[in-house]
Structure 1
């Protein structure tokens, strides 16, 4: 009864506010057969149990010292039940490298291996397809200390060995692998001082050439690590396991602030760099000429062997999209990426931006298979977020944008909302993205469905019209845990 009253309250807010009226003009049946809908988490943000069962610190432990989160390591069976009750086709998760291989290389941790096998088996038992990201930003701290992480080419061999363990141990159950999450963001934020001199994260003078070159070196090595793991999978495992392997990237969309030629050039320059930096090598085996002109001698070069390795190393592209930026030419700012002068204004909600990203990939890179692996919007992390009408509007609009892209010929095959439940958010822990509210102060980490959870479930199960008319009751088991 408590759930029914809650449901009536939240749906009444749709009706009487006049909001959300535009999210019911399509249904799941409008998407192609086989199109998958999912949600997502990452290991560090969901698992907790940071020092349990042999896990060693990652760079995120060192940076954030998280003591809050949903503690999924101990509650994964309950969470899989919620995932199943919602009606998701698929679920995106990541493997904690330092839980599986605590030394960064060498012996496998039996407890870590057992956990991931059990988690993946639980998903499969409920008919949920696991989409596994091997590396979601949480490099083992021991490798960062030893050689500087992605700045050193030793990371290529260590990552490939880690991937080999995952393919061998989990590959019979996992058919969709993403190697590395958001390499362009890892490079921009985690290496050098470029976080202070690169849009959209701010502008200032980089102090030294070495710090300026670090992000380019890091991303270059990440591309080679991805390609090395991809070659291993395709030569050793793919035929037996019948899976596919790709990589994700953070896809800003950029639009000119005005119709001036200068603003149009500035917007295109941003696309060439922030999108093409990763995509061009994956499809053409080298950085684009525009990228080379922009970055100059700071940009590493591929050997012919490396070029051949990287080209066509992804069976699909994983798109992560949250924001669109207006770009304006400026005479007062000298930016490293891109060179030339630009300023940026952020658009938090602009569904057309995701549609344009998918169209851009289609037009410029031969229309490869694409999965939108993250898309969502934050709300303040407290109980007031339960009635998250704004998130419903956001998801309805962005899923509609994906449908538009598919109808226009994009080979987009799936959409994954971020995140299934409130996680420890590394940018600002006061804001979370979850469909389920998690009370981090509660030792039991109670999960409570938000308005968006009911809406997404109704959409997935083809009952959103009933929800709009106040006649949908929660599915059996679709409850707080």
Structure 2
């Protein structure tokens, strides 16, 4: 049976500035925390890179998108996407994090916007995708300080004032948990930038609270500065609780587990409901962040859409215990893609969408899958092809969950595949490939993979093929 999508469904791809741009010292850009963090890596026992040594630093030209954006936009146009989600580098626009604006940084993004417009592709702009200015880390500890939220709002104002006549879709922050809870730790060196050890776990929670404040102030700044009507959203990668079977008891268990899973109650709940989840807050106890009067009002700004970054999930079933649910461990042979955490959970997209409408009680909130994709062990064969059939399987199965949510009238309106290009995969450097276009990092040659052509055909047909 063919699965058809609405004619107004928005198909797209997504990238992030630090992962693809390169040009780290060009046109006035200054270092981000990731520039320095990625210079001090060694390979850990789990195979990824951690900042605990002084091995040869990885190559930071990434995909050289700074120079090759026209080629990349042509690939998008041939793919047939209607929207392109990308991020703007704070370090290009306000290189010191605060203070004077760098006109040359704006000029790069204006050239990119010109190219997108020429090919009929609408920009969806993320204002922060982890690459905070190193200057602010050195000055006051970046996300450890409330000052970061104010500086972010000033940066947002500068961007929207200059580019707002050309951009109608804005995203404040991408995945708060990743640049706060994975960037700070009270015991072991974190695996994400800035890689800071803080005195106690409460300090980690304080960083995410400051990020939530930045989101709220950012929404206010966008609405105040935009010269045209626009849509403003947040992107989150909250943990997905999937019922083992769709019985009433297991569905109730998955909903009960949701606030406690992956710190959801302290991350997505404040932004979407205006409150830290009461039960989750109680579990934090003395480790809960300091919340000042008015903070939750600032954090809980009205947004026009929520972006969901979903890759995997966790199985939950009903249990005869105080919580009413239990997690199920996966067997050793459970299928996964080319990441230790990337277990195969096709139903996770459906349940992520459903949890927003039902568990978070926001059936009014428009949703977009802003990231979904997988790492695979891609290789170029003797014919010059990349036959990533495992990625096609992953994408097809996960998109079925989106189609199901549409048929059940959940407000899901778009899907952006992660990612257009193989890229700099954060603490894994270049060891993992998420793109539907293969990048030869020595030559910067682009090779569309089999998944690229499959996705193109699905977009053209408006259905899964």
Q: Which residue of 2 aligns with 1:21?
A: none
Where 1:379 maps in the other structure, the secondary structure is coil
Distance change (3 Å), C-alpha of 1:266 and 1:242: closer
- Preserved CA contact (<8 Å) 2:175 2:235: yes
What are the superposed Cα offsets for residues 370-429 of structure 1, whole Å, 9 maximum, x if unpaired?
Answer: 111100011125425810011111111111211111211211111000000111111422
- Preserved CA contact (<8 Å) 2:391 2:451: yes
1:193 Cα deviation after fit: 3.4
Where 2:171 maps in the other structure, the secondary structure is strand
Are 1:437 and 2:438 an aligned pair?
Answer: yes
Q: Which residue of 2 aligns with 1:11?
A: none
Among residues 264, 275, 280, which one is paired with 2:269 in the alignment?
Answer: 280
Q: Partners in 2 of 1:195 and 1:418 — Cα distance?
A: 30
Are 1:365 and 2:361 an aligned pair?
Answer: yes
TM-score by length of 1: 0.80
TM-score by length of 2: 0.83
What are the superposed Cα offsets for residues 330-367 of structure 1, whole Å, 9 maximum, x if unpaired?
Answer: 9xxxxxxx9x9978546621111110110010112322
Are 1:395 and 2:406 an aligned pair?
Answer: no
What are the superposed Cα offsets for residues 80-139 of structure 1, whole Å, 9 maximum, x if unpaired?
Answer: 111111100100100111111111111111221100111012112211010100000011
1:310 Cα deviation after fit: 1.9
Are 1:50 and 2:46 an aligned pair?
Answer: no
Q: Which residue of 2 aligns with 1:311?
A: 300
Are 1:230 and 2:219 an aligned pair?
Answer: yes
Are 1:25 and 2:13 an aligned pair?
Answer: no
Distance change (3 Å), C-alpha of 1:463 and 1:328: closer
Task: Show structure 2 runs of 5+ residues with no match.
Answer: 40-57, 192-196, 331-340
- Preserved CA contact (<8 Å) 2:266 2:281: no
Q: Count matched residues.
A: 418
Are 1:348 and 2:328 an aligned pair?
Answer: no
Question: Over aligned residues, Cα RMSD in angstroms?
Answer: 3.0
Task: Show structure 1 runs of 5+ residues with no match.
Answer: 1-23, 202-207, 331-337, 469-481
Q: Which residue of 1 aligns with 2:386?
A: 386
1:267 Cα deviation after fit: 8.1
Are 1:159 and 2:152 an aligned pair?
Answer: yes
Q: Partners in 2 of 1:298 and 1:273 — Cα distance?
A: 17
Q: Which residue of 2 aligns with 1:150?
A: 143
- Preserved CA contact (<8 Å) 1:455 1:464: no
Are 1:121 and 2:121 an aligned pair?
Answer: no
Q: Which residue of 2 aligns with 1:376?
A: 373
Where 1:373 maps in the other structure, the secondary structure is strand
Q: Partners in 1 of 2:121 and 2:106 — Cα distance?
A: 20
Q: Partners in 1 of 2:185 and 2:172 — Cα distance?
A: 23
Where 1:107 maps in the other structure, the secondary structure is coil
Among residues 85, 94, 97, which one is paired with 1:104 in the alignment?
Answer: 97
1:245 Cα deviation after fit: 1.0
Distance change (3 Å), C-alpha of 1:147 and 1:387: same
Select between 411-420 and 276-285 the one with higher mean Cα deviation. 276-285
1:235 Cα deviation after fit: 3.2
Are 1:182 and 2:183 an aligned pair?
Answer: no
Q: Partners in 2 of 1:359 and 1:79 — Cα distance?
A: 34
Distance change (3 Å), C-alpha of 1:162 and 1:381: farther
- Preserved CA contact (<8 Å) 1:262 1:329: yes
- The structure carrying a bigger helix percent of its residues is 1
Q: Partners in 2 of 1:36 and 1:262 — Cα distance?
A: 32
Alignment of 1:452-467 (within 5 A): 452-462=451-461
Q: Which residue of 2 aligns with 1:246?
A: 233
Where 1:351 maps in the other structure, the secondary structure is coil
Alignment of 1:71-90 (within 5 A): 71-90=64-83
Q: Partners in 2 of 1:194 and 1:267 — Cα distance?
A: 31
What are the superposed Cα offsets for residues 265-322 of structure 1, whole Å, 9 maximum, x if unpaired?
Answer: 6984454353332222123321011121121232225445222222243221111011
1:184 Cα deviation after fit: 1.8
Are 1:448 and 2:447 an aligned pair?
Answer: yes
Where 1:432 maps in the other structure, the secondary structure is coil
Distance change (3 Å), C-alpha of 1:254 and 1:196: farther
- Preserved CA contact (<8 Å) 2:160 2:225: no
Q: Which residue of 2 aligns with 1:424?
A: 424
Distance change (3 Å), C-alpha of 1:272 and 1:448: same
Q: Partners in 1 of 2:326 and 2:353 — Cα distance?
A: 26
Q: Partners in 1 of 2:187 and 2:176 — Cα distance?
A: 14
Q: Which residue of 2 aligns with 1:35?
A: 9
Q: Which residue of 2 aligns with 1:15?
A: none
Select between 419-428 and 308-317 the one with higher mean Cα deviation. 308-317
Q: Partners in 1 of 2:126 and 2:68 — Cα distance?
A: 20
- Preserved CA contact (<8 Å) 1:43 1:95: yes
